[in-house]
Amino acid sequence: MNRMDSIEVIGAGIIASEGIMHNARLSILPRPGSAKGASRPTSLDATMLHIALVDRISASKRSDEPLIVGINGVDGSGKSTIAGALAQHLRRSHYDVCVISVDDFHRPRSERYRRGELSPLAYYHDSIHYEILARHALQPVFEARAYPLRCQTKLLDLASDLPDVRFEPVTKETIVLRNMSTCMRPR
């Protein structure tokens, strides 16, 4: 079974990282701002955060299997921004990286909006094709017995609403960044 580390993006730059397979914990919070409260982190703070997370991920990576890093948080909390920055820093450190983002598994407009474009039920139930995401992106990595394997990383081009199915190889050396909004969904 593959090991997994998790990063919770709480919002406004607040990050908590919990080692699931070991008892390490890393929390990086924004600096206190003016008397009005906390400020958003500066780009220097963000760079320090990314370096700290890359160090943490590097320390968790074993050579015999991919490391799956879960990046979780509510919509708009910065998951994609952090995943992109981490992927860039990890690649600079010569790691093979595969990013799996929930944002790349939208259903076509006809399915997403069948209950109405502003329907909360459509947003919750019909926007993301979770079955394909689980079957073709997550399960192959979690259940892998041999490498390399092919992992689906995209289903649809959201702007054109056309299929854009993409796969990436995952090897024992790969760090998989799993970017999902799952904290409000039943498991």
Percent above pLDDT 70 for the chain: 73
User: So where are the chain's domains?
Assistant: 4-180
**pLDDT at residue 21 in the model:** 31
Separation in Å, CA 11 to CA 59, 61, 80, 172: 25, 26, 12, 32
- Give the tens place of pLDDT for each residue, 19-54: 433 333 344 433 344 344 445 555 556 777 788 888
**pLDDT at residue 56 in the model:** 84
4-180: CATH topology is: Rossmann fold (3.40.50)
- Give the tens place of pLDDT for each residue, 117-144: 999 999 888 999 999 999 999 999 989 9
**pLDDT at residue 24 in the model:** 34
- Tokens for 25? 């914990």
